[in-house]
Chain A
Amino acid sequence: MKKGLLIIIMMLLLGGCWDEAQYKDVTIVPVMGIEKDGEEIKTIFSFPTFENGMINYSTSEGKGFSTWNARYDANQRTMEALNLAHLEVLLVSDNLAKKDIYEPLDMFFRTPKNRITSYIAIIEGDMEQYFNLPEDVNTDVADFYPELLHTAVLYTFVAENTLGETAKILREESMDLSLPYMTLNEKGIPTVEGIALFSNYKFTGKTLRKEESIAANIMKDNLGKHTYLTYKWRQKESPITIEIISVHRKIKITHDKIDLNYVIDIGVDEFPKNGLYKNDMRRETENFLSDEMKRDFNKVIQKTQEAKSDIFGFGRRVHAFHSELWERGDWQETYATFPIEVDVKVRMKRTNILD
């Protein structure tokens, strides 16, 4: 009895706190950037600091031959240990992504304490500029990027791309990765510009911009909470803004072509011309929208084929059901030249309270 008690007390005292990480001894890093700097990898961390009851923001940089190495380097000049368990956004520069996106990301998937539900985005140009926001933004990096990307996802500008999703798609031969693409506008404010297209592990340098990326998300049936598209009705006579309510898609794959059949339910959110209560007007508008969307979709298909990037995952079905087609060679090569036909039918479900 006594011996047992002694053993238990010793176990507690000697073994106690073995994986403790006091929260006050670590620095939480909500935003991290990785870029290529010559042959080395450069990491930038943005984090809040807490002093005298105030929250301030600070950045720290590190260089090394790998992400972990660079992070380690940054740790040597940061007051408290950098903790990536709270990572909200990971920014990767395009020059690094063009080489191989997986290599710098590997460290995130190995240790269980890392957060893999953080957003990942590709940036254009110099990483440092993205960590020095102009005065106009009036908020800090650590808050800005998470909110920015969250809004982009809500409004279907980009799909919800997390680190975990990224790794999943990267490992798959039959589907290609697409990540949010950010640029700086003329005032130096970071903007979610569209989608960066990947072919296998590499960023192709080709992107889908603005409406194209929304169209791509509609084609994937990957809608956010709100999806709006604006067209010029009857050659600029009147603008029309529609909200996508739901997308029904049918994919038919044969050995010589892919047929894409979309039925899209929409609501009208802006249409100063009015008159949608008339049947012929309504039909005309539906037909107009069908044609416009079909053209947009075709443009998206064309761009992805140029980039040899099957972001829609047609390859999955081909792999599963059309082995003859799959075995024709590298799927990305096959996809680039494969005929794809798109057909869109728009159904106006809501005209909202005016009509």
Chain B
Amino acid sequence: MGIEGNSVIDKKTVKQLFFDSSDLVVTDIDWPTGKGVLCYYSSLADGTEVNKQIDIIQQRASKKIDNWGKTAVSDVMPFSEADLVNSVCDGLSVIIFQQSKVMVTISAQSTIGRTPGEPATEQVIRGPHDGFIERTQQNITLIRQKLSRNDLVVRKFKMGKKTTTEITYLFIDSIADKEVIKLFESRLQDIQEETIMNSGEFEDYLEESIFSPFPQLLTTERPDRVVFNLMEGKIAIFVNNSPSAMIAPVSFFSFFQSPDDFNGRVVVGSFFRLLRVMSLIMAIYLPAFYIAVVGFHSEILPIELSKKVKLAINEIPYRPIFEAIILEIFIELIREASIRLPKPIGQTIGVVGGLIIGDAIVNAGLVSNLMVIVVALTAISSFVIPTVEMNMSIRILRFPFMLAAAMFGFFGMAIGTLILVIHLLTLTSLKQPYFSPFIPLDTSRILHVFLRVPYSKFHKQQKTFTFIGKKKGRKS
């Protein structure tokens, strides 16, 4: 279409430019320097605020102040069609002056947003109870409030030409590894996609191994978690309109840390961290172990237990692997159903699914009661893992192990473990080793994986994946 060449910019042409959308407000406006056209989306801009700002700018213009158009919320720029479209779509209000070919943009967006409440997936008992919301600006506010230092750098990256997908990333300049930031920025430049709506979509562009079951970016909705990671030299990434921040590069063990550990006492924090490591092992291996024992290695059971096991499985009509798969699918169904349903009905599903069907399925002889115990225990331990992505990944992982155990017993499980460990060792997150601190070995940090070590002790200032200098906990 093009109105730039056109000498007349009036209400009609502007309306045409926005396809005559009904929420677009276009009015003529009188101005000391001549007539102008005001346009904004009534759905994005706050009308009363716009009026106030126009008044102020008008006064400045009539007083003939230099640069009357420039205030804290407004700007003057030469008129161009692309800028007009972008600005209005961003929620700005624009006054176009036909004669002088300039336009004044006023940022007075109406804000619809939640209050920063605690994210439902990452609740803690002790610690801050705020969470990110769908507006990046507010999210950065939350972080800046917690981290008031000038070397906290916020960078924005606009994706594509037409749409306004904005990637915002933060890092602390003095701590973050320059190489990692460079790599991250080059990855951003390489993205050809025009619109990215979700952070999940963006993850695909950043990750090295997309088909790996393990997430290579840590997603969180908690500001304190982001701050904690920034302090370790990580990069935090926000995608417009998404309440979750992504943190990279991360290691496998970052997913097993909960803010609760750091707020809690040393002994308590350490206990729960060990419990989590145990639950990880259980979530992956328990059903596989049971299947292997029942199918191949029944001799390892002590005789008393062995009789109970035999009693339970003697009249089950099929192999333990089918038993396990029936139950696993059943549990996944309950889980999936209760996510989709509203809360009060979700509980009903839990009762009906868990108690009634669980009991009936054993009585009907479809599944042995021991298998119910094993599968339920596995499900519970998989939910202990504090990050949602890892928790999903671990739940998926037990299926290949179950298959391996059903076909080759302990031998199959050993081979499975071998493959899993090799995969973990070769995996990288932004080219940083995923299985650090084990490979490459850093003995000083291994303890931190399993225990919550007191802060007052000496420890190193982490610099993404290397260290600078020593950090002293307390004056002694």
Q: Given the complex of chains A and B, what is the CA–CA distance between A20 and B292 in angstroms?
A: 9
B295 proximity list for chain A (CB < 8 A): 17, 20-23
In the bound complex, do residue A20 and residue B296 qualify as a contact, i.e. CB atoms below 8 Å apart?
yes
Contact check, B309 vs A16: say whether CB atoms are below 8 A apart.
no
Binds B, one of A24-32, A92-100, A130-138, A213-221: A24-32
Nearest B residue to A26 via CB reads B298
Chain A 44-85 interface mask (CB, 8 Å, partner B; 1/0): 000010110101000000000000000000000000000101
Contact, CB under 8 Å: A28 / B407: no
Cβ-based interface call for B217 (8 A): no
Say yes or no: A50 contacts B303, CB within 8 Å: no
Interface residues on B, range: 20 to 34
Contact B316 A86 (CB under 8 A): no
- Residues of chain B lying within 8 A (CB to CB) of residue A48: 307, 310
Give per-residue flags for B280-314: 1 if the beta carbon is below 8 A from chain A beta carbons, else 0.
00000000000001111011010100110111011
Within 8 A of B (CB), among A1-40: 12, 16-17, 19-24, 26, 28, 30
- Contact yes or no, B298 A17, CB < 8 A: no
Least Cβ distance of A4 to chain B in Å? 15
Distance, CA A30 to CA B305, complexed state (A): 13
Chain A at the B interface: SS class: mixed
Pick from A12, A50, A86: contact of B299, CB below 8 A: A86
Q: Is the CB of B298 within 8 A of A85?
A: yes
**A residues less than 8 Å from B313 (CB atoms):** 23-24
Which listed residue (A16, A20, A24) contacts B314, Cβ 8 A?
A24
Instruction: Determine if B298 and A50 form an interchain contact, defined as CB atoms under 8 angstroms apart.
Output: no
Q: How far is the CA of A296 from the CA of B309 in the complex (A)?
A: 48
A-B contact count (CB 8 A): 60
Residues of B with C-beta under 8 A to A17: 295, 406-407
Tell me whether B409 is interfacial, beta carbon within 8 Å. Answer: yes
A113 part of interface (Cβ distance < 8 Å): yes
Once bound together, how far apart are the Cα atoms of A346 and B130, in whole Å?
75
Evaluate contact between B296 and A21: CB separation under 8 angstroms.
yes
User: Are A50 and B314 interface neighbours, CB within 8 A?
Assistant: yes
Does A146 sit within 8 A of B, measured CB to CB?
yes
Contact call A88/B303, Cβ cutoff below 8 A: yes
Residues of B within 8 A of A86 (CB): 298-299, 301, 303, 306
Residues 108-131 of chain A: 1 if any B CB is under 8 Å from the residue's CB, otherwise 0?
A: 000001010000000000000000
| B311 in contact with A53 (CB, 8 Å) | yes
Give the distance in Å from the alpha carbon of A57 to the alpha carbon of B313 in the complex: 18
B-contact 0/1 string along A257-274, CB 8 Å cutoff: 000000000000000000
CB distance from B407 to the nearest CB of A (A): 4
Q: Tell me, rounded to whole Å, the shortest Cβ–Cβ distance linking A25 to chain B.
A: 10
Chain A nearest CB: distance from B308 CB in Å?
9
From A12, A20, A50, A85, contact of B310 by CB (8 A): A50
Please indicate the chain A residues that have their CB under 8 angstroms from the CB of B319 in the complex: 22
Q: How far is the CB of B298 from chain A (nearest CB, A)?
A: 4
**What residues on B are CB-neighbors of A51 within 8 Å?**
314
Q: What separation, in Å, do the CA atoms of A209 and B251 have in the docked complex?
A: 67
In the bound complex, CA of A19 to CA of B298 (Å):
12
Chain A residues with Cβ below 8 Å from B294 are 22-24
Asked if B310 and A28 sit within 8 Å, CB to CB, the answer is yes
Bound CA span A20–B296, Å: 5
Residue of A nearest to B407 (CB): A16
Q: Contacts A50-B311, A146-B303 known; A24 to B316 CB distance under 8 Å? A: yes
CA A19 to CA B410, docked complex, whole Å = 11
Q: How far is the CA of A115 from the CA of B315 in the complex (A)?
A: 26
Q: Shortest beta-carbon distance, B370 to chain A, in Å?
A: 11
In the complex, A43→B314 CA distance in Å? 26
Q: A16-B408, A24-B314 are in contact. List 18 more A-B contacts (CB 8 A).
A: A16-B407, A17-B406, A17-B407, A20-B296, A21-B295, A21-B298, A22-B319, A23-B313, A24-B310, A24-B316, A48-B307, A48-B310, A50-B314, A50-B315, A53-B311, A55-B311, A83-B299, A85-B298
Which residues on A are within 8 Å of B, measured CB to CB? 12, 16-17, 19-24, 26, 28, 30, 48, 50-51, 53, 55, 83, 85-86, 88, 113, 115, 146
8 A-B pairs with C-beta separation under 8 A: A20-B295, A21-B296, A23-B293, A23-B298, A24-B314, A26-B298, A48-B310, A113-B299
> Would you list the 6 A-B pairs with minimal beta carbon distance, nearest first?
A85-B299, A23-B298, A50-B314, A16-B407, A23-B294, A24-B313
